[in-house]
Amino acid sequence: MYIPLMKELNLTWSDIKSTSKLELSGLATALSEYNILHSFDGYSAKDIDEMAKDKPDIRDKYNEYLSQRRKYGVEEAAKSFDALIQ
């Protein structure tokens, strides 16, 4: 848990030691959410289909990415079947 906080958030060891466990847990959760939320930025659904041919687990990760984007209001879910076709 400490290495991603140090690497991604540039926290020093003294910062980590002086921060409460609850705050560190919150920072780690926020970092995880951020990484999921931006993991497939720049890829289209076609790109994901091509990548999923070789690695089917990518589709699960992409669906989690879309779910997070909907959760935070970045992207809205399709409201009808016609919207999916376009």
Q: Residue 74 has what pLDDT? A: 77
Amino acid 58: pLDDT: 92
**pLDDT recorded at residue 83:** 58
Burial 32-53 (b: 16+ CB within 10 A, else e): eeeebbeebeeeeeeebeebee
pLDDT at 44: 87
Tokens (6 digits) for 38 = 């931006």
10-residue stretch averages of pLDDT, the chain, 86 residues long: 84 92 92 90 89 91 90 72 59
pTM score above 0.85: no
